[in-house]
Structure 1
Amino acid sequence: MRNSIKSVFAAIVLSIGLFPLAHADDALDASKLYKAGQLNEAIKKIDAVLAQRPKDAQMRFLKGIILTEQNKPAEAITIFSKLTDDYPELPEPYNNLAVLYASNGQYLKASAALEMAIRTNPTYGTAHENLGDVYAKLASQSYDKALQLDSANSTAKLKLNLVKNLIGNTTGGTNPKTNTSNPAPIASIPNTAMVATPPAKVIEPKPVTPTVTKSTAAINEKDNVLDVVESWAKAWSNQNVSKYLAFYAKDFQTPNGESRNTWSEDRRSRIEGKGKINVRIDAPNISIDSNVATVKFKQFYTSDRLSSTSRKTLVLSKQDGKWLIKQERSGN
């Protein structure tokens, strides 16, 4: 395809900040072997490191990249899937998982993985572009089916031709191209493992002065509220209790009327040292009235001991320019 779905080879160790700098030599050695095309030797190096540090995200990620290049998609999918389980806050494994799904024609799975990458990092441009390509592939399949059922359907034929012009060949998988000739160093690698051919022509948009209307401002404010709620869930998932508690206002109404200190210590004991925690919000509905925002959503909570789904309502108030949680309720 002219605009094939992009995989990434990222400096995950820097993103999560969990590993000491002493491990950088191992990562650099494995990267050098990878760049030299010595894939089997690189795998041996990685496996030796993982025998000592089985949770090393960067080594696992690089192994997934190499397995992909060795045309071992099932093994690579296992690697990236496990990374999304262990490090749900990282968007790159979701993206590369989508690449593998798309190369096998599993576009619905690819779109779900890319949506998770974007949910994790809404500013992740590669995932947005890839999701557009996957949607285009799904659209081409639907238009093809429409033409099979009615070959005289000129509208479907026109739309199919438009999609073909947009993404190139639409009859097979994405077949992403692999670029191993000059990958970047492991400490700063945004997009190297698989790259798309750039479009033949890039049109620079003319600068415009945005007009801020009342409706535009309201939409932006809703985005700000959603960012706060998603950051709150991420701090909870990361078991960063200090950051998590900072999302609550000083006048937060505790659920059972207990003191703020008592409630805070109870939350700390329930979050810290509990193994893996993942909190995800879905289908948020936001309403804003002046300086009060009400957010209703479905909450998915998983940990080593518990998995639950519930309806949650957060009431936030804007204090000194910041949205803070004033009330928290479970259920409808």
Structure 2
Amino acid sequence: MLPAIGFADDASDASKLYKAGQLNEALKKIDAVLTQRPKDAQMRFLKGIILTEQNKANDAIVIFTKLTDDYPELPEPYNNLAVLYASNGQYLKASTALEMAIRTNPTYGTAHENLGDVYAKLASQSYDKALQLDSGNSTAKLKLNLVKNLIGNTTGGTNPKTSPTATPIANLPPSPTATAAPPKQVETKVASAPATNPSKATAASSDKDNVLDIVEAWAKAWSNRDVTKYLAYYAKDFQTPKGESRNAWAEDRRSRIEGKGKISVRIEDANINIDGNSATVKFKQFYSSDRLSSTSRKVLVLSKQDGKWQIKQERSGS
């Protein structure tokens, strides 16, 4: 239990140092946590906020972008990414990020307010352009004045600045504890029986993390319609669902995936059991495309071959 306690202490210290304004010291604590838990969403989120406050916008953008890749169901990283884009005058990118934040959480008031501000900035730029093309356009001039009064922009959108009050940084998610789990879709339910051999427990935990990484990457490749990468997660002796050859099954999957205009695949409630070189992963799968949306229970059976986990069986149902 000592490593878990140490992790919790470092995370708590990082939050306290940040609140006290000791940003460099907080970053050191965060990096210590991330060395042990590189996927910790809350520590990565806090690091992004600190980098933002240190005016290291590019570094913060990298942090928040990766968070949106790893945890697409969290609205806060999208919001803070939009803040950074807006501060650089990249309002189209900002609006896209905010629309994603609202899609993940339609009740997220901060994102709605920020999106309104971004739309106002975009409108200001468009009205200003209209006046440049036709200085006698009285309607565009009236609308531009209205938008100026709304957002307090005296430049008419040609050189926009982002006000700290116009695009507030989202609040941190709850502070992590020793038992804190990653966001729900990548949660791993570990058996509650105490380990009698610490080295075996560590190895089992590492294997669970590796298997979860594979399943996440498999879902991401599917979502990206990267068929070559998607198929690489299946073992050469993969047991096809209808008994057809693997090549025939692979070609069918390729045509189905490449034939879609868009695909989104995410997993929730992942439960991983490992027995030697075999791992069984049960989870809830949310699938949507331009033609279909469905929710189902899914089971993947992976085997460890040459030190690499690959999918050997795939079936629906618990």
Deviation at 1:149, TM superposition (A): 1.0
Distance 1:99 1:70, change over 3 A: same
2:71 aligned partner: 87
Cα offset for 1:275?
2.7
Report if aligned partners of 1:143, 1:160 keep a CA contact under 8 Å in 2. Answer: yes
How big is each residue's C-alpha offset from its partner over 1:217-254, in whole Å with a ceiling of 9 and x where there is no partner? xxxxxxxxxxxxxxxxx99x6599xxxxxxxxxxxxxx
1:312 counterpart = 2:291: yes
Indicate the residue corresponding to 2:263 in structure 1: 300
Query: Is 1:274 paired with 2:261?
Result: no
- Residue aligned with 2:68, SS: helix
Partner of 2:309: none
- After TM superposition, the score normalised by the length of structure 2 is 0.54
- Give per-residue Cα distances to partners, 1:237-293, cap 9 Å, x unaligned: 6599xxxxxxxxxxxxxxxxxxxxxxxxxxxxxx9972343587xxxxxxxxxxxxx
Return the alpha-carbon distance in structure 1 between the equivalents of residues 5 and 292 of structure 2: 42
2:142 to 158, 164, 169: 158
How do 1:97-136 residues align onto structure 2 when only pairs under 5 Å count? 97-136=81-120
Alignment check: 8 A CA contact 2:78 2:101 kept = yes
Whole-angstrom distance in 1 between the partners of 2:294 and 2:28: 52
Q: Taking structure 1 as the reference length, what is the TM-score of the superposition? A: 0.52
**Shift of the alpha carbon at 1:311?**
3.5
The one-character-per-residue Cα deviations of 1:63-110 (angstroms, maximum 9, x if unpaired) are 000000000000000000000001011000000000000000000000
Matched, 1:145 2:129: yes
Q: CA deviation at 1:144?
A: 0.5
Please give the per-residue CA displacement for 1:87-135, whole angstroms capped at 9, x wherever unaligned.
0110000000000000000000000000110111111111111111100
Q: Cα–Cα, structure 1 residues 300 and 146, in superposed 2: closer, same or farther, change >3 Å?
A: same
In the alignment, structure 1 segments of 5+ residues that lack a partner are: 1-19, 189-233, 241-270, 281-296, 317-332
Residues 1:26 and 2:2 are matched in the alignment: no
The 1-side partners of 2:54 and 2:101 are apart by 24
Confirm or deny: 8 A CA contact 1:146 1:156 kept in the other structure: yes
Q: Which residue of 1 aligns with 2:162?
A: 174
Aligned residues: 200
CA distance in 1, matches of 2:162, 2:76: 18
Q: Give the CA RMSD over aligned residues.
A: 3.8
What amino acid sits opposite 1:274 in the alignment? V
Separation in structure 2 between the aligned mates of residue 33 and residue 54 of structure 1, nearest angstrom: 20
How far, CA to CA, are the matches of 2:289 and 2:215 in structure 1? 20
Residue type of the partner of 2:174?
Answer: A
How is 1:154-303 mapped onto 2 (pairs within 5 angstroms)? 154-169=138-153, 170=157, 171-176=159-164, 187=174, 274-276=215-217, 277=219, 299-301=262-264
Among the aligned pairs, what percent are the same residue? 71
Letter in 2 for 1:173: K
Structure 2: state its 5+ residue gaps: 176-182, 189-211, 224-259, 267-286, 296-318
CA offsets per residue over residues 309-328 of structure 1, 9 Å max, x none?
95323599xxxxxxxxxxxx
